[in-house]
Structure 1
Amino acid sequence: MSAQHAAPAAQPLRPARAPTGSGAIGFVGPVLAVLTIALGLVLVRDALAVAGVISGDGWVVTVLDAMNGQTRTGWALAGGIVAALLGLWLIVVALRRRRRKALWLRKAAGVGIRPRDVARLARVAADDVDGVLDAKVTAGRRNVNVDVRTTGDPYTRDRVREVVTARLAALAKPPKVSVRARPSSSTSGGMT
């Protein structure tokens, strides 16, 4: 093929967007949807009653007539305040930023791993350290907590911290690693 007919160079792909959780809207959305549908059904029934399609007064008119002439009571004021605060809370929760779920890798554009996978990496790294009998790890986006049961070597905790930190160095923003070491026998002292 001649140089004039060579295929154009491929453009690199853009990095993927950060995966995010649904946040609280995953719970609040369906609740708001059910409440909106219920309100819509009440208003449609009232519209049909006012138009004379069905007999009787509308439910809204009936409730308002029953409340007409009522004196102000503490429970009504408290109920109104609670309903207003609940409504404001639902709006704030629905509009709040969603939490990011992934931790990005340093050299791979658009590639990230979840905090539970970070915990697995840290646990495997801690288990490989000499003197570690068992390791339990919890991880978030900013912190990794490693709890190890050791043979009693006082330097095991530092080696675990070094190995886990080195294993997580591939992340663009590595989380802070904290290690708690316990000797396997209860007679050798307490926590270190």
Structure 2
Amino acid sequence: MSGQHAAPGASPLRPARQTTGSGVIGFVGPVLAVLTIALGVALLWDALAVAGVLPGDGWIVPALDALDGQARTGWALAAGIVAAVVGLWLIVISLRRRRRKSLWLRQAVGVAIRPRDVARLARVAADDVDGVLEAKATGGRRNVNVDVRTTGDPHTGERVREVVMTRLAPLAKPPKVFVKAHGAPPATEAPL
């Protein structure tokens, strides 16, 4: 039997990993990249100045000469502490766990949907309920909020909640469903 063919009943593929977002490092990474580029430009400028290719003494040597012999001051200590805290904060942020961007289906191995698709499913399910005139849904991985305009039946909100929960039941961890039902405004007759 060739290695390409799986045994009957066996899953031919490993489940996919759950997709995750970039987390906060998506913001911190470009900031650190810009700072690294700026430091590289300053060092290159100084190297070219010391080699005599560019006029002047560069930027780093004059800055260090200006600081040489300075007395200890409160601002220097404060700046050092702030720099250390910001550096530690950036390290913690970059190592923090990333947010998951999808919700797994219970029965289908390796199949997941995005949170905005969960909100779409909830809106479509709410639209199918008798007595709903208009439905809007927002949500994410943990909660789905459904806002419906109804014909005025007081039980429509509970029916919408049940239908949406049923529609989201195939998810491995279905989000909580919250429904706000608003009765339709009374119809006004247009003057002739």
Structure 1 unaligned residues grouped into runs of 5+: 1-5, 188-192
| 1:103 shift after superposition | 0.4
Structure 2 unaligned residues grouped into runs of 5+: 188-192
Amino acid at match of 1:94: S
Within 5 Å, which residues of 2 pair with 1:71-110? 71-110=71-110
Q: Distance in 1 between matches of 2:54 and 2:125?
A: 72
TM-score of the superposed pair, with normalisation by structure 2: 0.83
- Judge which range, 54-63 or 11-20, deviates more: 54-63
CA deviations 1:70-104 (Å, max 9, x no partner) are: 34445444443333333222222222111101000
Amino acid at match of 1:180: K
Amino acid at match of 2:132: V
Secondary structure, counterpart of 1:29 in structure 2: helix
Q: Distance in 2 between matches of 1:128 and 1:82?
A: 57
Alpha carbons of structure 1 residues 113 and 65: separation in structure 2 relative to 1, 3 Å = same
Alpha carbons of structure 1 residues 68 and 105: separation in structure 2 relative to 1, 3 Å = same
Q: Distance in 1 between matches of 2:113 and 2:179?
A: 22
Q: Distance in 2 between matches of 1:119 and 1:151?
A: 22
Alpha carbons of structure 1 residues 49 and 7: separation in structure 2 relative to 1, 3 Å = closer
- Judge which range, 86-95 or 44-53, deviates more: 44-53
CA deviations 1:139-165 (Å, max 9, x no partner) are: 110111111111111100110010000
CA deviations 1:48-76 (Å, max 9, x no partner) are: 55566656434222112112343444544
> Greater helix percent: which structure?
1
- Judge which range, 101-110 or 36-45, deviates more: 36-45
Amino acid at match of 1:175: P
| 1:45 shift after superposition | 3.4
Aligned residues: percent identity? Answer: 75
| Count, aligned residues | 182
Q: Distance in 2 between matches of 1:113 and 1:35?
A: 37
| 1:41 shift after superposition | 2.6
TM-score of the superposed pair, with normalisation by structure 1: 0.83
Alignment root-mean-square deviation, CA: 2.4
- Judge which range, 64-73 or 162-171, deviates more: 64-73
- Judge which range, 121-130 or 72-81, deviates more: 72-81
Q: Which residue of 2 aligns with 1:163?
A: 163
Secondary structure, counterpart of 2:169 in structure 1: helix
1:148 aligns with 2:151: no
